[in-house]
Structure 1
């Protein structure tokens, strides 16, 4: 079991244990007045989210890394829901989209999205919030939930429209992810596909149903590596983004099963910073699941005198995987107890 993230709410302000004071001035919900709430949350290995970190994406090879996916802890929505909620703010010249998630040890929950998102030539949604979060892990069919959103259409507009969402969720672990600038490296993924129809009915206004298909590809220890949306009746995705790089998070470490590094990977863990890579020093961070990782038999993470965490592949191990394999490496700050960073370590056959 992964060590727990502890969250504290005191005097109306959420304090994320170890991640410092979490703030999000753009929160879309008002904070409730709460004096004492303690919640324990284990994040999912497929969607580890840390406040004030960034994943960069690209929509095409011509503009690599031009789409920013900024992760922030949403104080207002967390306060309203009673559990931690994170926003992934996807921003570029051509795409502005906020995705809201709850991540637990066994589940990834999708709470809503901001756009606006055009679902036809004459209608668009914004501030879409589901009454019941949509669970993205596990097969689900013929599900229904209410929702609210801001609606603009040729027939009129509603600032808080009541919607009905009929949906299915399917999962697959057969797809691999490869960034366009990788020649060898691939990551195994968990693919979750949300297929839905959105209907709106209000006095004097009936809109829809609109077909919507959202695809999420998650990589263990890294998070959302690919996302696309088919939100109109026109065939094909209206948008698609793919992982390109990261900031304030550990770099991917990758080997082949003969012990060679892949795509210029380092043999130790480092954090990608705006100014370059910074070694993760063992005096600053502890690998909280290091024993479990070394117990795999084929992986050896050591702490040499230099202070870095060195990685070796035991090529003679009988447990050496013969298929593409990723594991999560979980760091905790020794000074700011509880501050967590998650890394992806991948072994190619």
Structure 2
């Protein structure tokens, strides 16, 4: 889930907790050229500056490009755009796409470049656990870890450079989106950078088994049924053990979590709660996480 004009905060490896700010925005230019919504996740902090471009659907997350510049081997690569978006959900092997980018190698700009990226994608279930947060909370989420392994092959003026190997990992959680991201760009035994979720802003607070009212992060304002509808309320209530409804003040609440129900989760599980603004039709994605 990606929502325009919202923010997530991350902690970089070795950095200050919550010091990386990720601004999520609807990228008008790329959306117009592609013919579908494209969102930019602009990560900015002292330890890392990186823009990631995504397309999301109900069943897929696609990576369209990366801005840096990013140092890969002896080169700096910026404005990397994939000819064919890279699908991050579902295993893929022996895939290839063309790309465009601005590349500097050994201090010189490379011109007349032809770029090919050979890649594979692997998925596995994982768990995110971050106890070093600015608000003294320990976040624990189930994730789908998507690992992109690629060789960036560059030919310039008839000269083929040695391939640049990269490994990018993305951890996605229902209702939140990307909670962890790392990149290995130099064939080191460990990641060159890693960002872990710390907190959010302009989005609904994360709900747990002890939560009650849906509120906005930071402001703690209630999400009122006068302003928002829950698009997947029926789907969530049909789980049997969960009831989302309105209280006496017309605020959206978790009215019941029945841990004794036969269908109550037996392992760490996250659900998306999809709010839609009745006045603007803008959508907000919320998260309910159950850790039995």
TM-score, structure 1 length as denominator? 0.79
Residue 131 of structure 2 corresponds to residue 147 of structure 1: no
Residue 278 of structure 2 corresponds to residue 334 of structure 1: yes
2:193 to 239, 249, 258: 239
The 8 Å contact of residues 120 and 150 in structure 2, kept in 1 or not, is answered as yes
For residue 183 of structure 1, report the CA deviation from its aligned partner.
Answer: 6.6
Residue 27 of structure 2 corresponds to residue 83 of structure 1: no
The 8 Å contact of residues 15 and 47 in structure 2, kept in 1 or not, is answered as no
- What is the distance in 2 between the residues matched to 1:117 and 1:183? 32
Q: Could you tell me which residue of structure 1 aligns to residue 143 of structure 2?
A: 189
Residue 217 of structure 2 corresponds to residue 272 of structure 1: yes
Q: Deviations over 1:121-160 (max 9, x none)?
A: x311000001000000110001111111100012731267
The 8 Å contact of residues 113 and 157 in structure 2, kept in 1 or not, is answered as no
User: Alignment partner of 2:234: what SS?
Assistant: helix
Unaligned 5+ segments in structure 2 are none
1:310 to 253, 276, 279: 253
Q: Deviations over 1:99-134 (max 9, x none)?
A: 0001011111100100000012x3110000010000
For residue 277 of structure 1, report the CA deviation from its aligned partner.
Answer: 1.6
1:1-349 matches, within 5 Å, as: 48-60=1-13, 63-120=16-73, 122-154=74-106, 156-158=108-110, 161-173=113-125, 175-181=126-132, 185-203=139-157, 205-255=159-209, 261=210, 266-273=211-218, 276-311=219-254, 312-336=256-280, 338-349=281-292
TM-score, structure 2 length as denominator? 0.94
For residue 59 of structure 1, report the CA deviation from its aligned partner.
Answer: 1.2
User: Alignment partner of 2:221: what SS?
Assistant: strand
Q: Which moved more, 1:158-167 or 1:304-313?
A: 158-167
User: Relative to 1, partners in 2 of residues 1:97 and 1:183: Cα closer, same or farther, differing over 3 Å?
Assistant: closer
| RMSD between aligned residues | 1.6
Unaligned 5+ segments in structure 1 are 1-47, 256-260
Q: Which runs of 4+ in 1 moved over 6 A?
A: none
Q: Could you tell me which residue of structure 2 aligns to residue 21 of structure 1?
A: none
- What is the distance in 2 between the residues matched to 1:281 and 1:61? 40
User: Alignment partner of 1:186: what SS?
Assistant: strand
The 8 Å contact of residues 61 and 180 in structure 1, kept in 2 or not, is answered as no
- What is the distance in 2 between the residues matched to 1:153 and 1:74? 29
The 8 Å contact of residues 13 and 193 in structure 2, kept in 1 or not, is answered as no
The 8 Å contact of residues 284 and 333 in structure 1, kept in 2 or not, is answered as yes
